[in-house]
Amino acid sequence: MNTGIEFKTDSSYNIYSGEKVKDSGRYYVDSASRILYIKEDSVYEPLKIKKLTDSTIEFFLMTDSFALKLRKKQ
């Protein structure tokens, strides 16, 4: 079963498990500091953008020392 996330241009996102939406929320990007903020409940969680290419993006979750790499759907 595939899991994925879709970032929309209206600053919303959906997390999918297969074809079903499992979670959704809001986000914003601080381009100057290269941080993606994901809203969880009423708090925005910062994800430091480490690397960005045409097909991948790598994040670092500063509060948990957790790295995440997302790849564009083929």
Number of domains in the chain: 1
Mean pLDDT of the chain: 87
The pLDDT tens digits for 26-40 are: 999 998 999 999 988
Strands (E), the chain: 3-7, 12-17, 20-30, 35-40, 43-52, 56-61, 66-71
The pLDDT tens digits for 51-72 are: 888 888 898 887 777 888 888 8
Tell me which residue range forms the domain holding 41.
3-71
Average pLDDT over residues 10-14: 93
Q: How confident is the model at residue 1 (pLDDT cuts 50, 70, 90)?
A: low
